[in-house]
Amino acid sequence: MHNFVYHNPTKVIFGKGTIPQTGNETAAFGKRVLLVYGCLSAKSNGLLQRVIGSLEEAGCIVVEHGGVRSNPSLADVHIAIQSAKAENIEVICAVGGGSVIDAAKAISVGTCAEHDVWKFFTGKKSIRQKLPLIAVSTLAASGSEVNSGMVLTNDSTQQKFGFGHRLLHPEVAIMDPETTFTVPANYTAYGAIDALAHIMEFYMTTEQAGINVQDRYMEGLAKCIMESCDHVLLDSGDYQARASLMWSAALALNGLSAAGLGKVGFPMHLIEHSISALHNVPHGAGLSVVIPGWLKYQANQQPARMVQFFRQVFDIKEMSEVETIDCGISALTAWFKKSGAPVSLKELEIDAGEISQFAENALAQAKIWRMREYTQEKIESILELCTGANA
């Protein structure tokens, strides 16, 4: 086990009927609130009005910043930062999925910085201050509501970059599984696939010796994520399954899985970000295309970890290593398909001719993340396995 520091100070308030706590939890940090939300769902299902009602009841003055899109943009964050500064905002309340919460994180640290917020993402500046953040999560996916990461897209440079810092942990995460009842089937699956990617990336790229509590933790989460997602796709209002999916996805990237693994990275995300930076596809859909190809490539690099993962998660027995890998990749790909997620660039209507562009785009992030092994050639080779040409 490698040395580690684990410190996740986010207070999680989880369960049905917890939305009315948003007001008091937010007001504890300040009265002038920037309310950050997305495009459609929060407004249409009445959630936003309930949050605003709770904030106002707690004596908050609410300034709204709506319309955050998926794959949130730097330009939009710039506008929100200006608004936050002009309105002397003291605390941010984000209502939405990972995109909204990530945008809110960028606004939170960008408002306290003299320089452009993008400099955090390019590694040119480190975070020193933030506005407190209350995250009302409405999607089981990124775990952003409980973790220290954020991802933002710079439209002018076509770069989708991720950045992590301990100050990015929200102060409070409010997680009511009932808010996810209206998430459509395909986005439910995309969220589950995002969470699975977070587990597999860490699991399959780190060497573990001896007994590893992290392995059992990640295997258990992976099983729960898939099983919960299956139940939700059968019955979108299955509370227990929605709750299990929501909490499992959060635990998949709250820092605990990585504690003790040594240096971890996000190779699947690295490649996917280049696809959604250039094509604005849903993140989880991009991942479900990248994952099978990445697994086929990785199978030759570090097979032992992949074999162990598949044996534990898919209960594969009495098969050779090679067979286990084949069987595992097939099972996972089949599960993606069954869940309504695309598994090839072709299905995303992306031409294989763009592969070198994706690779080039990903290289900039690989450099900042110090993933030297992810060369142009390697990324291209992985993406060649994602085309669906042989499907």
Return residues touching a second copy (CB under 8 A). 1-18, 177, 209-213, 216-217, 219-221, 223-224, 227-228, 231, 238, 240-241, 243-244, 247-248, 251, 256, 259-260
Q: What angle do CA 304, 259, 241 make, to 5 degrees?
A: 80
Q: How near is the Cβ of 15 to a second copy at its closest, in Å?
A: 3
Q: What angle do CA 162, 163, 164 make, to 5 degrees?
A: 135
Q: Which is nearer to a second copy, 212 or 381 (CB)?
A: 212
Q: How far apart are CA 293 and CA 249, in angstroms?
A: 23
Contact 352, 387 (CB under 8 A): yes
Q: Which is nearer to a second copy, 13 or 61 (CB)?
A: 13
Q: Which is nearer to a second copy, 53 or 260 (CB)?
A: 260
CB pairs under 8 A, 24+ apart, for 210-214?
212/1, 212/260, 213/260, 214/256, 214/257, 214/258, 214/259, 214/260, 214/261
Q: Is the dihedral of CA 68, 69, 72, 75 positive or negative?
A: negative
Q: How far apart are CA 220 and CA 231, in angstroms?
A: 17
Q: How near is the Cβ of 276 to a second copy at its closest, in Å?
A: 28
Q: How near is the Cβ of 38 to a second copy at its closest, in Å?
A: 25
Q: Which is nearer to a second copy, 174 or 299 (CB)?
A: 174
Q: Alpha carbon 54 to chain centroid distance?
A: 27
Q: Which is nearer to a second copy, 210 or 353 (CB)?
A: 210
Q: Which is nearer to a second copy, 80 or 313 (CB)?
A: 313
Q: How near is the Cβ of 17 to a second copy at its closest, in Å?
A: 7
Q: Alpha carbon 120 to chain centroid distance?
A: 18
Contact 105, 215 (CB under 8 A): no
Task: At 79, list the tokens.
Answer: 């506008």
Q: How near is the Cβ of 231 to a second copy at its closest, in Å?
A: 7
Q: Which is nearer to a second copy, 45 or 312 (CB)?
A: 312
Q: Are strands 149-154 and 159-164 parallel, antiparallel or unpaired?
A: antiparallel
Q: How far apart are CA 341 and CA 193, in angstroms?
A: 9
Q: How near is the Cβ of 171 to a second copy at its closest, in Å?
A: 10
Residue 334 makes CB contacts below 8 A (sequence gap 6+) with: none
Q: How near is the Cβ of 241 to a second copy at its closest, in Å?
A: 6
DSSP 3-state assignment of 387? coil
Q: How near is the Cβ of 381 to a second copy at its closest, in Å?
A: 34
Q: Which is nearer to a second copy, 256 or 331 (CB)?
A: 256
Q: How near is the Cβ of 152 to a second copy at its closest, in Å?
A: 27
State the virtual CA torsion across 299, 297, 340, 253 in degrees, nearest 10. 70
Q: How near is the Cβ of 279 to a second copy at its closest, in Å?
A: 33
Q: Which is nearer to a second copy, 231 or 311 (CB)?
A: 231
Task: At 236, list the tokens.
Answer: 């979108």
Dihedrals phi, psi of 12, to nearest 5 degrees: -100, 125
Contact 384, 364 (CB under 8 A): no
DSSP 3-state assignment of 245? helix
Q: Which is nearer to a second copy, 249 or 386 (CB)?
A: 249
